[in-house]
Structures are given as structure tokens and as C-alpha cells.
Amino acid sequence: MTGYQEILTDPSYYGQIVTQTYPLIGNYGVNGIDAQSRKSWVRGYIVRELCEAPSNFRSEGVLGDFLQEQGVTGICGIDTRRLTRIIREQGVMNGAVTTEEIAANREQLLNRINAYTVAGAVEAVTIDKPCTVDAQSPKFKVVLLDVGFKRNILQSLLRRGCSVTVFPALTDPAEILATSPDGLMLSNGPGDPAENTRVIENLRALIKSGLPIFGICLGHQLLALASGAQTAKLKYGHRGANHPVKDLKHDRTYITSQNHGYAVLAATLDPAVGEISHVSMNDGTVEGIRYLNAPAFSVQFHPEASPGPLDSGYLFDEFLALMASSARERG
């Protein structure tokens, strides 16, 4: 199991403490390639055993040094599987990693823990201004709305011949449409999706424009909210690289990478607006929606993360096919 650097630099973990169930972390070091964003966004990091002497030909540094450089509080020597069992039974909860004397400050510390919330997450992680990355042999122009995007999403588009312009989360729809894009990608990101009222309102205008849209994770939730559905917080959330999801159209189950604490409520989706395309084989929650009122679809999991060889990368190909079909219809 690998991917700790990707987790640490995934904006979806903004404001959270991350605990790893795999017992040895840091064994292949860190490098400048695997980072998914410009910095680490986690507030704390908990591991069983920290490797301080990594061995890998790609290693450029030690995980402990990386955490210090990023200002992330880390702790090792913790029975992380026992901690995970507690979370599994009790649900996601607030916590703290501290060097304070707990017995003397117990009530004060508990009050601080109970009062902590993750708010304004998307505004905190989104880029400041638009930027464009051109593909070598461009076929399409794609706008990537940054509500906390991972670089693997950008790379997945570039590999398929899409030149990509990344826009800040709160960009006005008119500014996006003025670039005459072939499609819109809605990225993953952190926090409560319903909190992003301005982004949701902007998406309603973009849906009406007829622009082909593909949403991932938070992007999936925001698209559903903009289409009249509702979301709810999960007791545990879905985390990790081994979640089975069934594609209802192809009658096939894929192993997916997931990282989300909220889900779209199936009963709130208007059947005239969209249909459920993917479901979780673990708990039956919504994992994908295909829209009937617009050229748009979305998934809750991460097709860019490749938990298997290239399990769900076909969704990017479907996005390209949707843009090609839309281009033909426009003449």
C-alpha cells in the first residue's frame, strides 16, 4: 500500500487529522513528483511506525522532514488500527494531537476539540487566479474548476489531448464561458458541499449553457446540489483504495479509490433530471449520476487515482466522447 504523500497533499483533507492503518509509513520517502497540490493541507498525521531511513530510487527526502517543512503535527507509536476500530464504531469525530499536559488542561482541551469545525475549506484551497496548461497535441479545451483539485486530474486530461485552464472556485460563469471551452471538469475538494452556495448557484448557469460537464467527488456533490438533489454527512465516510463500485450501465464492478465524508441522497434526485449510474457495493450509497437534462455526468470516487491498473480511467474517455458529440451537434 502506497500513497501517503498523495494523501498529505490532497486538498480534500483540508483541516483534518489523518490516521494511516498501514503499519509502516515513510518507507519510500517523499519526492517532488507525487505531490497532488502545492502544499500539505492536513492538520495532523498519525502513524504506527515512521520510517526514518527510506529506500527507493525515487526518494528525495524523509517524510518526517517533509511534515516539519509543511508545519504538520505528526505522531507515531500509536495503535492506528485500534483507533480506526473506534472510529468505525463511533463515527468520524473531532480529536487533537497535543504536547500539553492533558490531566491539568482536560476540560479546556475538550472544549477546544468540541468547538473545532472545518469551514471555508474550498475558498482556502482554491487557486488565486486562472492558469492554463497546454497539451502537446490539443484536441479539446477544458476548464477545470478548482474546488480543491488533485494534479492527477489535470494529468489525466493532458494525457488525452486536453488543454486545461484552471479557474478559481468562485469564478463567474460568464468568465468561464467567454473562453469558449469544449467541456467543464469539476474537481474534488474538501468540506461540506452544501456550504458552497455561490459555487452551486454558478453551476446552475453552467448547466443551462449546455456545456459538457464531468464532476469528481466534491464536484459530483456540487453538481447534484445544483440540480436539486441533497447531500448528507456519512457516519464513517469512505476512505481508501479498495471500495467496490458497480457501473449499472455496463453491469460491471470496479475497485475504486475514495475519500469523502458526504454523499448524495438517492431519494432526493429528480428522476426527470438524472439517473443513478454507479452504486457502492459496500453500503448502497450513490457513486455516480448521469444527467438527463444536460450533457453531464459525475462520480463520487476518484477515477484519476488508479487503485487498480487503470480501473476507472474509462470515465475520462467518456468525457472526451461527450465533448466530441457536443462539438458535432454545434456544427
**Which of the residues 76, 201, 302, 329 is marked catalytic?**
302
Q: 305 and 221 in one domain?
A: yes
Q: Are residues 213 and 269 in the same domain?
A: yes
Per-residue pLDDT, averaged over 131-156, amounts to 94
Query: Domain range for residue 59?
Result: 4-115
The answer to whether 76 is a known catalytic residue is: no
Residues 17-62: pLDDT tens digits? 999 999 999 999 999 999 999 999 999 999 999 999 999 999 999 9
Name the catalytic one among 238, 243, 260, 304: 304
Q: Are residues 103 and 152 in the same domain?
A: no
Q: Could you give the CA distance from residue 268 to residue 6 in angstroms, rounded to a whole number?
A: 33
Q: What is the per-residue pLDDT for 299? A: 97
- The CATH number of residue 58's host domain is 3.50.30.20
The number of domains in the chain is: 2
Same domain, 158 and 40: no
Would you say the C-alpha torsion 222, 125, 149, 259 has a positive or negative sign?
A: negative
Give the pLDDT of residue 330. 75
**Other C-beta atoms lying within 10 Å of the C-beta of residue 83:** 15
**Which residue among 115, 143, 166 closes a domain?**
115
- Whether residue 24 is found in the same domain as residue 59: yes
- The answer to pTM > 0.85 is yes
108 and 255 both lie in a single domain: no
Residue 78 near residue 46 (C-beta atoms within 8 A): yes
Residue 32 CB coordination number (10 Å): 9
Q: How confident is the model at residue 240 (pLDDT cuts 50, 70, 90)?
A: confident
The mean predicted confidence, pLDDT, of the chain is 93
Whether residue 162 is found in the same domain as residue 232: yes
Kindly report the CATH number assigned to the domain that includes residue 320: 3.40.50.880
Confidence of residue 307 (pLDDT cuts 50, 70, 90): low
Residue that is last in its domain, among 57, 90, 115: 115
Q: Give the residue-averaged pLDDT of 170-191.
A: 96
**Which pLDDT does position 327 carry in this prediction?**
84
Does 306 have pLDDT greater than 70? no
CA–CA separation, 121 vs 147, rounded Å? 9
Percentage of the chain exceeding pLDDT 90: 82
Confidence of residue 331 (pLDDT cuts 50, 70, 90): low
304 is catalytic: yes
The answer to whether residues 106 and 162 belong to one domain is no
Q: Which ranges constitute the DSSP H helices of 173-242? A: 173-177, 197-208, 218-226
The reply to whether 162 belongs to the active site is no
The reported pLDDT for the residue numbered 1 is 53
Q: Is the pLDDT score of 176 beyond 80? A: yes
Among 80, 115, 150, the domain boundary falls at 115
- Positive/negative CA dihedral, 233, 43, 150, 4: negative
Considering the domain architecture, whether residues 177 and 45 belong to the same structural domain is answered as: no
Give the count of beta carbons closer than 10 Å to the beta carbon of residue 293: 12
- The catalytic residue among 217, 243, 260, 278 is 217
298 and 198 together in one domain: yes
Are 98 and 128 in the same domain? no
Categorize the per-residue pLDDT at 153 as very low, low, confident or very high, splitting at 50, 70 and 90.
very high
* pLDDT for residue 239: 86
φ and ψ at 284, to 5 degrees?
Answer: 80, 5
For residues 129 and 145, membership in a common domain is answered with yes
Using one digit for the tens of pLDDT, what is the confidence trace for 63-109? 999 999 999 999 999 999 999 999 888 888 999 998 888 888 899 99
